[in-house]
Amino acid sequence: MAAKNVKKKTPFEVEPGFYLEDNRNQRAVVPVTKETLEAKHAAIMPEWLVEGKSVLDLGCCLAATGHWCLSYGAKKYTGVELQPEYAKKAKELLGKHWSKDQFEIVQSEISDFLAEVKKGEYDIVMMAGVLYVFLDYFSVLEKMTYASKEWVLLESIMPQKNLDPETPYVEFVSKQTITLPNGQERARGIGSRVSPGGLKMVMEHFGFTSQEGVITPAAVKGTHDAFNEVIPGWKSPVRFMMRFQKGGAKVADLAEELKTGKFKQPKAGFDEYKPGTKLKAGSWQFNDKVADEFENIALTSIPRYKEVIGMCVEIATKAYPDKKCRILDVGSAIGKTMDEFHKSGFTDVWGVEKSEAMIKGSKYSDHVIHSDTFPRGQKPFHIVCANWTLHFVKERKAYLEDIYNGLEKEGFLILSDKTQGNPFLLDLYHDFKRRNGLTEQQIADKAESIKGVLEPYPLNWYLTELKNIGFSEVHVINAYYHFTTFLARK
């Protein structure tokens, strides 16, 4: 009689040699173990992605990726590995389980191999832990996108410890390392590290987009997990993975736009104002210029801008998994938050916005209410998002009361504002802006222009008043410098 509920072995339980015979299993950080291999591959290469596909793995080492892909139905696997010891072992391990027509291991330098590849020859092109050894990362990515028919998968290292992952950034390093096949040695030389935001920009230039951003594997206990754990002093984990899909128009760089004469962004004058003059206090307005540049302004000036929007979608999905709920975005601007809700399957999504210029720039303008007050006539809502908006509102408590009255029972308010902070926190916040490329003059001008326009309140004011208004639960769910996000439930 057949045994019941027999657990199917995972690929690396079937062949433990992929981690037992890999000298990287001796590393203190990101050691190659059964658990790390399974967590990483399950996140970046799920079964639905590889089944029936041809896979090119650049810098394949022992070809553990090949065993994973073939175990989950890949049509063909090709691994490219320069170091002969790794290439030989990869052939031996794969040959124990797969036929010669299912896999190929090529001992070659990656750039040389890619120079001979046909356009779209492989469904999936993978490069894990290798991109940073190239100084000319741009050409390597260009060749990878040329070789890929559908997907490019990347695993790499963050450029520096104080960088926001969303910031487009490249760091050229003089002491990059990569593991050698014998013992515990690593080669050291010059290379480059590109941030997730930088990879996103470059890949969009080649016509590949990432809808998911950084992909984080399941946490692995008992070792330093560089994909999940943050080293003291760092802003994010050292290692990251991203998945890019072919599709959409290529994003031209400025050189190409100069050639064609077609410019995506609005043209700028030589100077917005004469050198030495100061912007007037309280001169900040959400006008056409701000609307045109809003996304860049938000990314460079609002800490965790994308993460907070992602949290809004996550909360809505958890609270209403059937997506049958009514959502309002207060201060919807050009519609970024509305867009993320729509991408996640929500359809009854509305915005309210005071600025006509912002509404004009939103692709959901037909679902945006032009008003500087809460749209009482449109209630009730299941979820109200008010991110980085109410700190511009003078009658803040009255607006919060309107939100409360406009919510369904047990509805949610997600509120983000700039709260009061001391000079030390303010200087840290200005460091954040500096890292994102803003000049001292730009930082000073923005601070002057929002005087009397944006008025931060103490954090405790929100906690107290939200409770006084009637919210039964109030929690701080995100805080960065003096930007705070609250989750309140009616």
| Cα–Cα dist 204/193, whole Å | 18
**pLDDT for residue 222 is more than 60:** yes
Instruction: Tell me what pLDDT residue 185 has.
Output: 86
Least trusted range by pLDDT, from 195-204, 354-363, 414-423: 354-363
pLDDT top residue among 81 and 253: 81
Band (pLDDT 50/70/90 cuts) for residue 11 is: very high
pLDDT at res. 1: 43
- Rounded to two decimals, the pTM is 0.62
Nearest Cα to Cα of residue 63 among 42, 32, 39: 32
Whether 11-246 and 288-489 share one fold: the answer is yes
Q: What is the pLDDT of residue 444?
A: 86
| Structure confidence by residue, pLDDT tens digits, 358-400 | 888 888 889 999 998 999 888 899 999 999 999 999 899 999 9
Give the pLDDT of residue 338: 93
Cβ neighbors of 322 (< 8 A, separation 6 or more) are: none
Q: Is residue 243 scored above 90 in pLDDT?
A: yes
Half-sphere exposure of 152 (CA within 13 A, CB side): 26
| pLDDT at residue 346, as a whole number | 95
**Average pLDDT taken over every residue of the chain:** 90
Model pLDDT, residue 413 = 97
pLDDT at 280: 54
What are the extents of the domains in the chain?
11-246, 288-489
pLDDT digits (tens, 9 = 90+) for 75-88: 999 999 999 999 99
| In this structure, CATH architecture of domain 11-246 | 3-Layer(aba) Sandwich (3.40)
The pLDDT tens digits for 40-95 are 999 999 999 999 999 999 999 999 999 999 999 999 999 999 999 999 999 999 99
Q: Three-state SS string across the chain, please? A: CCCCCCCCCCHHHHCCHHHHCCHHHHCCECCCCHHHHHHHHHHHCCHHHHCCCEEEEECCCCCHHHHHHHHCCCCEEEEEECCHHHHHHHHHHHHCCCCCCCEEEEECCHHHHHCCCCCCCEEEEEEECCHHHCCCHHHHHHHHHHHEEEEEEEEEECCCCCCCCCCCCEEEEEEEEEECCCCCCEEEEEEEEECHHHHHHHHHHCCEECCCCEECCCCCCCCECCCCCCCCCCCCCCEEEEEEEECCCCCCCHHHHHHHCCCCCCCCCCCCCCCCCCCCCCCCCCCHHHHHCHHHHHHHHCCCHHHHHHHHHHHHHHHCCCCCCCEEEECCCCCHHHHHHHHCCCCCEEEEECCHHHHHCCCCHHHEEECCCCCHHHCCEEEEEEECCHHHCCCHHHHHHHHHHCEEEEEEEEEEEEECCCHHHHHHHHHHHHHCCCCHHHHHHHHHHCCCCCCCECHHHHHHHHHHHCCCEEEEEEEECCEEEEEEEC
What's the whole-number mean pLDDT along residues 234-244? 92
Compute the average pLDDT of residues 107-133.
Answer: 97
Q: What percent of the chain has pLDDT over 90?
A: 65
pLDDT given for residue 276 in this prediction: 46
Q: Which residue has tokens 């559908």?
A: 150
Query: What pLDDT is attached to residue 360?
Result: 87
Please give the CATH architecture assigned to the domain spanning 288-489: 3-Layer(aba) Sandwich (3.40)
Q: Among 160-164, 353-357, 440-444, which is the least confidently predicted range? A: 160-164
User: Residues of the chain with pLDDT > 70: what percent?
Assistant: 94
| pLDDT at residue 270 greater than cutoff 60 | no
Q: Is 181's pLDDT higher than 60? A: yes
User: Which one has a higher pLDDT value, 223 or 208?
Assistant: 208
Q: Is the pLDDT of residue 109 over 90?
A: yes
pLDDT at site 91: 97
24 neighbors 179 (Cβ within 8 angstroms)? yes
254 pLDDT tier (thresholds 50, 70, 90) = confident
Residue 370's nearest CA partner among 339, 331, 397, 401 is 331
